[in-house]
Structure formats: structure tokens, C-alpha cells
Structure 1
Amino acid sequence: MNNQDFQTVTAVLQDYFEGLHQANTKRLSQICVEELVLSSPNLRRSRKEWFELIMARPIPQVEGHPFNYKILSLDVIGDQAMAKLSCPLLGSEYIDFIGLLKENGEWKIINKMYVDLIETN
């Protein structure tokens, strides 16, 4: 594993956390490919649909929610990476599985699967 790639992917995930917390779709668009699909059981959303939902919901940072996002695991193998993240957001406890690829020298999020632990229990 290339330590530089591991650090770069970690920085992309930090941008992801901050984009979620600030409801900053411009920041998220810089790290997520346009073809991104969000998936959970029986639900698929495009990046555009996801961004519309982000812009319509309360902003966690403005609402005073703590910044408690965490990388639970991260594997970087060649030009591919898979991360498992804890994303407490607006009263939910999301676990996000984020897939990233390094293309044209840049790491980008290409897919997202997620589950809300509160809804699951």
C-alpha cells in the first residue's frame, strides 16, 4: 500500500465528513463522481437527488450537532479503496460504505452504500 494514497484517501473522507456536516454540496461535488449512486436496500439515488435532499434538510453544523464522524476501517489496494464510516447525522446513526477509485491521478468517491442503525434496530 502506498502511504501517500492512504493519506490522500483519508483527506477525501475528511472532505466528505465536512461536506455532510456543512451541507456543502459544492465540496461534495469535488470529491464525488457525477455518476455516483447511493444505495441502500430497496432504494437508489443519483448524486443529483442526494444533493437536493442535502440542500433541503437542516444543516448539522448550524443546528449545533457535534462533529463525531469517524473512519471505522479503510483499505487501499492499488487504485481502489473501500471505507467503512460512522456518520451520526441529524438524529440518525449512519454506517456508510464508501468506494473510491484513483483515476487520472485523483481519488474520487464512486459509490456509497449506507444503513441507518437506528432504523435497523
Structure 2
Amino acid sequence: MVAITGETIVAHSDPNQDLLEIKRVIELYFDGTHYSDGDKMAEAFVENCQIIGKTMRAERDNWIADVRKRTSPDSQGAPYDYRILSLEIDDGIAVARLAVPINGMMFTDVATLLKYDTGWRIATKVFFRKN
């Protein structure tokens, strides 16, 4: 069972506008990652989202607190090399596969996005470290 609090899911909208909005949300996530910017992360992820890895599970606010504490890739001179590998949109749901380099490691993320009355937001993020 999934409980969405304070948000209404919306479907049947303009696909071109949806694509632009989804890319904007993903860019917020990429920027938040690269600059350790928790505010951008909070804007990209719905409040009750789950972040899941092979050996960890976190809720948004705890995960964002950890992001704020870590040394940003930008401050270490890392290139901004985040990529959308694939994106599938079906009405009010989207699935994005992302390449996310963080401090010398490469992650593959699968983000599920939902369209709420307030716009698109990342509802879940599952990730795996490639190297």
C-alpha cells in the first residue's frame, strides 16, 4: 500500500510539457547531488519518498541531511557528468534510468516520478553502485 500525503496525483496532460517538467526535476536532483544542495533535493523528491540501495533504505529528510553533510563533487573539482540514460512517460507516471557520479563512484539510479497537483516529483529512487 502506498500512502501519498498532501498531494493529488494528476494524469492526462500535455506530453511535451510533461517531458520538460520531468527533465527540470531530474536536473534539480543532479544539481542537488553535485553541489550537496539539500534544498534542490527537497524540491525534486516528494516528502514521503523512499531511497533504496542494496544495503540501505532511507526516507527523504534523513537522506537529504546526509547529502548536506558530504563533501560536494563540485568542491572536489569533479565534472558535471550526470546523464539521463532512458526515460519512459505514461500519463502521470515516469521512470528514469540515470547515471550519477559521486566522489569517484558511478551509480545507476532508477527514479520513479509521479505527477501531483503541484507538478512532477520523484517518488522513489533505487540505486546501485557500479564500481
TM-score (norm 2): 0.85
- How many Å separate the matches in 1 of 2:44 and 2:130? 25
Deviating beyond 6 angstroms after TM superposition, the runs of 4 or more aligned structure 1 residues are none
The residue number in structure 1 matching 2:71 is: 58
Question: What per-residue deviation string (whole Å, max 9, x for no partner) do you get for residues 66-96 of structure 1?
Answer: 0000000000110100000000110110000
The residue number in structure 2 matching 1:106 is: 119
- How many Å separate the matches in 1 of 2:50 and 2:77? 29
Question: What per-residue deviation string (whole Å, max 9, x for no partner) do you get for residues 39-59 of structure 1?
Answer: 122421111221121122111
State the superposition RMSD in angstroms.
1.2
- How many Å separate the matches in 2 of 1:34 and 1:4? 23
Structure 2: runs of 5+ lacking an equivalent: 1-13
- How many Å separate the matches in 1 of 2:47 and 2:25? 16
Give secondary structure in 2 for the equivalent of 1:68. coil
The count of aligned residue pairs is: 118
- How many Å separate the matches in 2 of 1:53 and 1:42? 16
Give secondary structure in 1 for the equivalent of 2:75. coil
Equivalent position to 1:18, from 25, 31, 36? 31
Give the AA of the match of 2:23.
T
Asked if 1:73 is matched to 2:86, the reply is yes
- State, as a whole percentage, how many aligned pairs show the same letter: 29
Name the structure, 1 or 2, with higher relative contact order (CA <8 Å, separation 6+): 2
Report the alpha carbon displacement of residue 14 of structure 1 after superposing the two structures with TM: 1.0
Structure 1: runs of 5+ lacking an equivalent: none
Greater Cα offset, 84-93 or 43-52: 43-52
- The structure with the greater share of residues assigned to strand is 1
Asked if 1:44 is matched to 2:57, the reply is yes
Asked if 1:3 is matched to 2:16, the reply is yes
Contact 2:28 2:43 in 1 (8 A): no
